[in-house]
Structure 1
Amino acid sequence: MPSSSPSSATGAVAHADDLADFVASSPSSFHAAAEVARRLEEAGFIRLDESEGWPAPAGGKFVVVRDGAAIAWAVPSTPRVASGVRIFGAHSDSPGFKLKPKPTTGRLGWLQAGVEIYGGPLLNSWLDRELRLAGRLVLDDGSSVLAATGPLLRLPQLAIHLDREANDRLALDKQAHTQPVWGLGETESADILGELAREAGIDAARIRGYDVVTADAARGATFGRDGVFFAAGRLDDLASVHAGVVALERAADDHDGDHIAMLAVFDHEEVGSGTRSGAAGPFLADVLERLWLSLGADREEQLRALAASWCVSSDVGHSVHPNYAEKHDPVVQPVLGSGPILKINANQRYATDAAGAAAWSGWCAAAGVTGQEFVSHNSVPCGSTIGPITATRLGIRTVDVGIPILSMHSARELAGVSDLWDLARVAEAYFRG
């Protein structure tokens, strides 16, 4: 079990409260990337532009944002030409709904939003819940602005009087039943993009493109006996993003190892990662090449550096569910509050192998954290992560880890307060080497 000392408990509670702030500031992947950069810049990291030259990196702390992705790193004061990298990888997107073209719709006096399903959300969890809109707006001059509303939309459920079998088998049509309401009136006199434009302080007529999603409007909260639970939207995977930011901030203050500590946050994991800002795209490889070139490394030295590097792919995994125990492996049963998980799959849906398991065990021990393992029931298909993608893309040694949660892909997911803090502590030990 994780440490139950007063200092550890206080740290875990403070970490969860900070995570609630982080989630509230990150309702879309674009907001999450911006929040990562903002926090790290406050901690002394230098924001870099991909279209400009980058400074010599010795002893530097840097962060670069590409759309809804962000990569940050800390270089020791005396780096080697072929310095290896310790990457902590996570993703910024979550399942939900995304605005379609011509998004202002409605009928029968109701204003509705035309949305498309993004990823694999647990649809029923989005019913009867206040939702926000958030994302980026691209304007007529090519510039982008971030925008987010407060509580604006709702997917109202049909009353049981009109569907007497709703408690037996609720079936939602993905087109007809998932268009949220956001007002009353006629569509000719309304514009849902105008709501976002008003929040961003711009003229809606200037909008030429947008990437806008829904997010739960409720703030994350701790609850349960002794406050052991934490619930919020987008814990998959902002819990890992936040842990990585906290760990990198702490480790970069006095980073003097022989490796480069790096946080890599990708977009579009929930839809396959195959984009310019996804793990299957070139973003990480581009940053690594530019970093090693700035150290003076030639191609052979870059390959040597890759061979000396690690990637910890951090994403949430399934806690054993007390009401559905038959869905889990009968022996390996991680539970909230018992530490971060090592994710294992024989068919390499996770990248963990024996070497990765041993390394993870060492980093947990260095942090004073007890971990647990996760493996799927043989009859239940296993999901995947950025881990195998990163390992395949770069040939880098990779291990898949995370925290156990319940209600995965719900609009509001459930984690253990101590697990969130323990993951950040192990990530810091990993960065420190």
Structure 2
Amino acid sequence: MTARAPAFDRAHTDDLMAFLAASPSPYHAVANAAARLEKAGFRQAEETAAWDGAAGGRYVLRGGALIAWYVPEHATAATPFRVIGAHTDSPNLRVKPVPDTGRHGWKQIAVEIYGGTLLNTWLDRDLGLSGRLSLRDGRSVLVDVDRPLLRVPQLAIHLDRGVNDGLKLDRQQHMTPLWGIGTPREGELIAFLAAEAGLAPGEVAGFDLMAHSVEPPAYLGRDRELLAGPRMDNLLSVHAATAALAAVSAHGAGLSFIPVLAAFDHEENGSTSDTGAEGPLLGTVLKRSVHARGGGYEERARALAGSLCLSSDTGHAVHPNYAERHDPTHHPMAGGGPLLKVNVNQRYATDGAGRAGFTAACERAGVPWQSFVSHNAMPCGTTIGPITAARHGIATVDVGAAILSMHSARELCAVADPYLLANAMTAFLDPSWRA
């Protein structure tokens, strides 16, 4: 589990912080990842256009999902894939279809709870709004109000003397943020956001909007050994995988696999959508890539049989205040490198062969790694890993960086772990790569 770790490059963590701050919604996250890939020479492939099989990097962008791949020179129709899967969404508060509400002299915004949110972390926090506005002409426009706009105020302790003995929040009644004083007016929020985006209110026909904390990512601790920030679950993995794919494409002539990044939306509520891991997007892209290189069913089957997927999602570092909630012999440490996540009931897809493939990549990269398994008395979470394995028949291994405060509005990790994960991913995508 130990290896010679590459010298830590704080620039990678600085770049992750910039990526987190610029990606308050899945739509922003994939736009930013696509921009980074464009700088590395990738070009967008329109889903409605014909594809060719020429070498080079391409990506498909749909909603909050991005699939990117690099075809090396001399790739055949049966060349296997190396896939890194991640997700772009995070638990948060999402705006309801009729948003303008309020009572007792307060203007409020109606929200719906998205995913397994730690509700208390959204209390008394300055919130902005972000997402996309869908226009009547069929276009979508990203919007990001990254300043204090909303707040979910907690009840004062004087009116709830037992709050420190157990806070219980009603998801409907207690989580509605306020944003002004007075009587709410229908259409007020969308008119405001349209103006922020330089649009007329009548241009907006639909929207997908969510709240986000406006507090920027920050180094933490005496020696700045920790990173605090929003949406690490799972933009930390998306950022690392984007960096790894760009890196291997820069010297991709000798690649024996086709490296792929699959950044899905909607993992936090089950992945069942056209942009989620349960949907057909990844399978369609892989099939069209094979066909563009002259292959058919036989070549695609051969390619998938030789493929391997790395499902990367954040995992739990051992919590010093709740160590009894972790398996007693598996205590993943912050700064200890990527987690290899195992669950025999297939909540994670890792098996012995996948373990061997990932640990070999870590050894080539000089990256330490550690094992994670849940306490038997605790329900185990899951990832896109088992879904990808079952849907596409691709051998899959589940990994991720160790964090604390998962599903909080603000999470925490060691500053070195994102860099270590990116190095391991680079070696996974290109088995010839050495640190």
Q: How many residues were matched structurally? A: 428
* Aligned-partner Cα distance in 2 for 1:150–1:61: 32
* Aligned-partner Cα distance in 2 for 1:264–1:225: 37
Q: Give 2:227's match in structure 1, choosing from 223, 227, 230.
A: 230
Residue identity opposite 1:57 in structure 2:
A
* Aligned-partner Cα distance in 2 for 1:189–1:283: 37
SS in 1 for 2:262: strand
Q: Are residue 36 (structure 1) and residue 33 (structure 2) matched?
A: yes
Shift of 1:189: 7.6
* Aligned-partner Cα distance in 2 for 1:32–1:197: 21
> Does the CA contact (< 8 Å) of 1:277 and 1:283 recur in 2?
yes
The corresponding residue for 1:176 is 173
Give the TM-score normalised by structure 1. 0.97
Alignment of 1:110-189 (within 5 A): 110-151=106-147, 152-188=149-185
* Aligned-partner Cα distance in 1 for 2:368–2:84: 19
> Does the CA contact (< 8 Å) of 2:5 and 2:367 recur in 1?
no
> Does the CA contact (< 8 Å) of 1:336 and 1:419 recur in 2?
yes
> Does the CA contact (< 8 Å) of 1:149 and 1:195 recur in 2?
no
| Alignment root-mean-square deviation, CA | 1.3
SS in 1 for 2:416: helix
> Does the CA contact (< 8 Å) of 1:137 and 1:209 recur in 2?
yes
SS in 1 for 2:190: helix
* Aligned-partner Cα distance in 2 for 1:399–1:123: 31
SS in 1 for 2:164: coil
The worse-fitting range, judged by mean Cα deviation, of 14-23 and 368-377 is 14-23
The corresponding residue for 2:333 is 335
* Aligned-partner Cα distance in 2 for 1:166–1:57: 63
* Aligned-partner Cα distance in 2 for 1:99–1:199: 17
Shift of 1:335: 1.3
Q: Give 1:21's match in structure 2, choosing from 18, 23, 28.
A: 18
SS in 1 for 2:208: strand
SS in 1 for 2:194: helix
The corresponding residue for 1:210 is 207
The corresponding residue for 1:389 is 387
* Aligned-partner Cα distance in 2 for 1:245–1:72: 9
> Does the CA contact (< 8 Å) of 2:126 and 2:151 recur in 1?
yes
* Aligned-partner Cα distance in 2 for 1:36–1:176: 37
Q: Deviations 1:128-174 (Å, cap 9, x if unpaired)?
A: 11112111111111211111112211111111111111111111110
Residue identity opposite 2:164 in structure 1:
N
Alignment of 1:182-331 (within 5 A): 182-188=179-185, 191-255=188-252, 256-331=254-329
> Does the CA contact (< 8 Å) of 1:57 and 1:291 recur in 2?
no
Q: Deviations 1:197-225 (Å, cap 9, x if unpaired)?
A: 12211112221111111111111111113
* Aligned-partner Cα distance in 2 for 1:330–1:4: 26
Q: Give 1:425's match in structure 2, choosing from 423, 426, 431.
A: 423
* Aligned-partner Cα distance in 1 for 2:153–2:62: 36
Q: Deviations 1:11-69 (Å, cap 9, x if unpaired)?
A: 1x2111111111111111111111111111122111111111123332x1111101110
Shift of 1:3: 5.4
* Aligned-partner Cα distance in 2 for 1:380–1:322: 17
* Aligned-partner Cα distance in 2 for 1:352–1:96: 29
Residue identity opposite 1:370 in structure 2:
P
* Aligned-partner Cα distance in 2 for 1:229–1:3: 21
SS in 2 for 1:164: coil
SS in 2 for 1:150: strand
Q: Give 2:347's match in structure 1, choosing from 343, 346, 349.
A: 349
The corresponding residue for 2:411 is 413
* Aligned-partner Cα distance in 2 for 1:321–1:182: 35
> Does the CA contact (< 8 Å) of 2:40 and 2:249 recur in 1?
no
* Aligned-partner Cα distance in 2 for 1:189–1:93: 29
* Aligned-partner Cα distance in 2 for 1:250–1:53: 27
> Does the CA contact (< 8 Å) of 1:2 and 1:418 recur in 2?
no
Q: Closer, same or farther in 2 for the Cα pair 1:68/1:190, shift >3 Å?
A: closer
* Aligned-partner Cα distance in 2 for 1:30–1:412: 19
Shift of 1:185: 2.3
* Aligned-partner Cα distance in 1 for 2:202–2:79: 50
Q: Mind listing any 5+ residue stretches in structure 1 that lack a counterpart?
A: none
The corresponding residue for 1:74 is 70
* Aligned-partner Cα distance in 2 for 1:326–1:377: 9
The corresponding residue for 2:46 is 49
Residue identity opposite 1:266 in structure 2:
F
Shift of 1:188: 2.3
Determine what percentage of the aligned residue pairs are the same residue: 51
SS in 2 for 1:356: helix
Q: Mind listing any 5+ residue stretches in structure 2 that lack a counterpart?
A: none
SS in 2 for 1:35: helix
Q: Deviations 1:252-311 (Å, cap 9, x if unpaired)?
A: 101121210111100000000010000000000010011000111110111000001010
> Does the CA contact (< 8 Å) of 2:45 and 2:60 recur in 1?
yes
Give the TM-score normalised by structure 2. 0.96
* Aligned-partner Cα distance in 2 for 1:338–1:229: 13
SS in 2 for 1:187: coil
